[in-house]
Amino acid sequence: MRFRAFAALTAAATLVLTGQPGPAHAAPTPNVATGQPGPALAAPPKVPTAYGYGGAVATVDPTATAVGLDVLRRGGNAVDAAVAAAATLGVTEPFSAGIGGGGFLVFYDAAHRTVHTIDGREAGPATMTPTIFVDPADGQAYDFQEARISGMSVGVPGTLATWAAANRRWGTRSLGSLLRPATRVADQGFAVDATFQQQIADNAAAFGQFDATRALYLPGGAPPAVGSIQRNPDLAATYRLIARHGTDVFYRGPVGADVVRTVQHPPVSSHPAGTWAYPIRPGDLRMSDLAGYRVRHPAPTRSQYHGLTVYGMATPSSGGTAVGEALNILEPSDLGHLPLIQAEHRYLEASALAFADRNRYVGDGTPRSTLNTLLSDGFAQARACLIDPAHALAKPVAPAPLTASGCPGGVPGSPVEEGQSTTNLTVADRWGNVVEYTLTIEQTGGNAMVVPGRGFLLNNELTDFNFTPTQGSAPDPNLPGPGKRPRSSMSPTIVFDYGRPRLALGSPGGASIITTVLQVLVNRLDLGMSLPEAVAAPRGSQRNSPGIQAEPAYRAQFGTQLTGLGHTFGPDMPELGALTAIEFGPHGLLTAAAEPVRRGGGAAAVVVPRG
Ligand code: GLU
């Protein structure tokens, strides 16, 4: 039975990715009869763009995409495929995703023509105070890395609860069956690629402090070689336990107990590899925090852009309001009719203004009325009229009062930055359902602690709180508090045209998620690029800091002219984001797009390729 499933998965991937059936990329036969791990799964080739019908999947990883596609081909819906693909990312993208983390999912239910969300964000412990990240010894905020590699940074993971909630509400397969392909990948292993190796190398000092992390990711004291086979039998066993006994083994049972023990007593090695500059402090997460965790289902944010309706994620993510506000600011400019440099100028200014307001007003628990104000046309007008076509605004710009209309002054605010990495996936099925799902463990590598015996890394999501107040004398909406969820930038977004999905997209990248999603929307909807072009185009990100954060190619293309308008650039970023998207064309044509290059390139696939 398991062998048949595996063979079909490989065949499906081969068929879709090569355009014809055949053994060209067939994997070696796994030894499932003995129950022993067989040969590693051969990764399907990475194809960043696919065109076709009947359903589509785009993720950063070819194995996860193939797993999602197989679920669709066997009659599963978009939610089934998204859960199976996400569980696989927990194996193959463990430094960005997994059951030790959290995320946000936006779902379009085609039968009912409704949009739903799941807030599976990590929650702080009930005992968390606003000063958790302030060192009592000196009253100063901890260094970021000191806070990150600790028990203090770990929020109650929401990812498994997200999968269970999606599965319960909209799924058509058992959660256990959806964990099976990922379990198989964890058992049999997959080939290490350069991105996987580099992510370990970047974390080697932190990973070296914990035996369980070291055993898994620093075999022989160094990152695994590219092409070597990475297995994770502990994670396979954890998935099997969940499949057999349900999510209570995590939220009320032995897996949760191990999470809590790891947080309360960080398992620092008695003979660490290398030195770590900081003490590794415990946290106060308890079983009662895990047992009390619930996903939420906030109404999506909603805004209009040139006749399209844009749905996004509400608090505790700031993604929906920031993307929506920036689009509202840009709409009257009609970017498609401006010289390209003016379009870029306004895109950068609109995102700086939206970030100022997001930093001032948006956090867990922000009243819906405030979100609605931020998304109102009147508020956007007040912000848009600050944009001078000839001169960049001095950064940071101040947030506007919520009563803003016309061109008011405002009060000073300060820029806020966040973490670096995450992963995103986009799925559509033959019935027209769409899932846009961003999941994360916060930094690449999370808090560096693999839960001993369980095979997954813990998040450091609580470092997305502001460590100290950032808003001067005004209240900071993103300070820690009991049970509170840290503000996110994750921006799973679905755009509708007269009630039908037109485009779904999302990205990793910390706070630059917002600008990446915004920039790809602008590229596609205003600047005449195809979806693959919009995804591949160079990225720049202005988040209300003095300097634009830009990829070298963006700076090369626009730097001189933008500098002429008074913009300044911060240090180059090698890359921003790793977006995935699906576009819904006429007569059911789907364009599934992943990155051609960033993060080593992603993988898109469709159920029935265009002939
Ligand atoms: N923790 C970040 C957020 O929620 C995401 C991490 C990332 O993509 O780097 O916005």
Q: Which ligand 1 atom sits nearest the alpha carbon of residue 486?
A: 4
> How many residues in total does the chain contain?
611
Q: Any catalytic annotation for residue 403?
A: no
Output the residue whose Cα is nearest ligand 1's atom 3: 488
Top mutation candidate among 105, 315, 488 for ligand 1, by most atoms within 8 Å of CB: 488
The two tokens of residue 428 are 């559509």
Tell me if 440 CB under 6 Å of ligand 1.
yes
Q: Is 155 in the pocket of ligand 1 (CB under 6 A)?
A: no
Gap from CA of 442 to ligand 1 centroid (Å): 5
- 122 CB near ligand 1 (under 6 Å): no
Residue 404 CB partners (closer than 8 Å, separation 6+) = 378, 379, 382, 383, 410
- In this structure, what are the phi and psi dihedrals at residue 516, rounded to the nearest 5 degrees? -65, -45
Residue having the nearest C-alpha atom to atom 2 of ligand 1: 510
Q: What are the tens digits of pLDDT across the range 361-390?
A: 999 999 999 999 999 999 999 999 999 999
State if residue 283 touches ligand 1 by the CB under 6 angstroms criterion. no
Residue type, 554: Y
| Smallest CA separation from ligand 1 atom 5, residue | 510
Per-residue confidence (pLDDT) for residue 344, from 0 to 100:
98
CA 444 to ligand 1: nearest atom: 9
**116 and 449 Cβ atoms separated by less than 8 Å:** no
- Helix (H), strand (E) at residue 186: helix 175-188
419 lines ligand 1 (CB under 6 A): yes
Q: Is 481 exposed, middle or buried (0-12, 13-18, 19+ CB in 10 A)?
A: middle
Cis bond before residue 316 (omega within 30° of 0): yes
Mutation pick for ligand 1 pocket among 355, 444, 490 (CB with most ligand atoms within 8 Å): 490
For the chain, the helix, strand and coil percentages under 3-state DSSP, each to the nearest 5: 35, 15, 45
Measured from the CA of 509, which atom of ligand 1 is nearest? 8
- How remote is the CA of residue 425 from the centroid of ligand 1, in Å? 15
- The best mutation among 93, 442, 493, 549 to test binding of ligand 1, ranked by most ligand atoms within 8 Å of the C-beta, falls on 442
Three-state DSSP at 428 gives strand
Residue-wise pLDDT for 150-196, tens only, equals: 999 999 999 999 999 999 999 999 999 999 999 999 999 999 999 99
Residue 46 is predicted with a pLDDT of 86
Q: Which of 105, 215, 278 is nearest to 450 (CA)?
A: 215
State how far the Cα of 270 lies from the Cα of 86, in Å rounded to an integer: 34
Give 510 Cα–ligand 1 centroid separation in angstroms.
Answer: 4
Query: How far, in Å, from the CA of 105 to the mean position of ligand 1?
Result: 14
CB 506 within 8 A of CB 491: yes
581 burial via Cβ count (<10 Å: 0-12, 13-18, 19+): buried
Q: Is 318 touching ligand 1 by the criterion CB < 6 Å?
A: no
CA distances from 136 to 129, 133, 139, 265, 475 (A): 12, 9, 5, 20, 22
Cβ–ligand 1 contact at 442 (below 6 Å): yes
Q: Whose CA is nearest to atom 1 of ligand 1?
A: 442
Under the phi-then-psi rule, with left for phi > 0, alpha for psi from -120 to 50, and beta for the rest, what region is 63? alpha
Q: Which atom of ligand 1 is nearest to the CA of 461?
A: 1
Which atom from ligand 1 is nearest to the alpha carbon of 464? 1
Q: What's the pLDDT score for residue 21?
A: 27
Q: How far, in Å, CA of 423 to CA of 129, rounded?
A: 29
Q: What is the dihedral of CA 311, 313, 315, 317, to 10 degrees?
A: -140
Can you tell me whether residue 501 is helix, strand or coil? Answer: strand
CA 478, 504, 440 angle in degrees (round to 5)? 40
Which residue reads 């269970």 in tokens? 164
**What is the whole-number distance in angstroms between the Cα of residue 488 and the centre of ligand 1?**
6
Lookup: tokens for 263:
């947080």
57 CA → ligand 1 middle, Å: 22
The response to whether residue 438 sits with its C-beta less than 6 Å from ligand 1 reads no
* Cα 60 from Cα 587, distance rounded (Å): 27
Calculate Rg over the CA atoms of the chain: 23
Query: What angle is formed at CA 586 by the lines to CA 582 and CA 592, rounded to 5 degrees?
Result: 20
555 close to 575: Cβ distance less than 8 angstroms: no
- The token pair at 363 is 């956090």
Helices 340-361 and 512-525 meet at what angle, rounded to 10? 140
d(CA 382, CA 391): 18
How many angstroms does the Cα of residue 421 sit away from the middle of ligand 1? Answer: 6
Measured between alpha carbons, how far is 186 from 208 in angstroms, rounded to an integer? 22
> Who contacts 594 (Cβ-Cβ below 8 Å, separation ≥6)?
48, 49, 58, 59, 60, 65, 535, 578, 579, 580, 601, 602, 603, 604
Q: Which candidate, 16, 72, 57, places its Cα nearest to that of 431?
A: 72
Strand 568-569 relative to strand 547-550, pairing: parallel
User: Does the C-beta of 490 come closer than 6 Å to ligand 1?
Assistant: yes
C-alpha–C-alpha distance, residues 277 and 143, integer Å:
11
DSSP string, 556-570: HHHHHHHHHTT-EE-
Separation of alpha carbons 290 and 100, rounded Å: 12
**Is any ligand 1 atom within 6 A of the Cβ of residue 418?**
yes
The whole-angstrom separation of Cα 73 and Cα 5 is: 12
> Which regions of the chain are under pLDDT 50?
1-37, 409-420
564 Cα to the center of ligand 1, angstroms: 32
pLDDT at 43: 66
Give every strand in the sheet of 540-541, ordered side by side: 540-541, 547-550, 568-569
Q: Which of 10, 422, 440, 516 is catalytic?
A: 422
pLDDT of residue 421: 67
How far does the centroid of ligand 1 lie from the alpha carbon of residue 418, in Å? 7
pLDDT of residue 252: 98
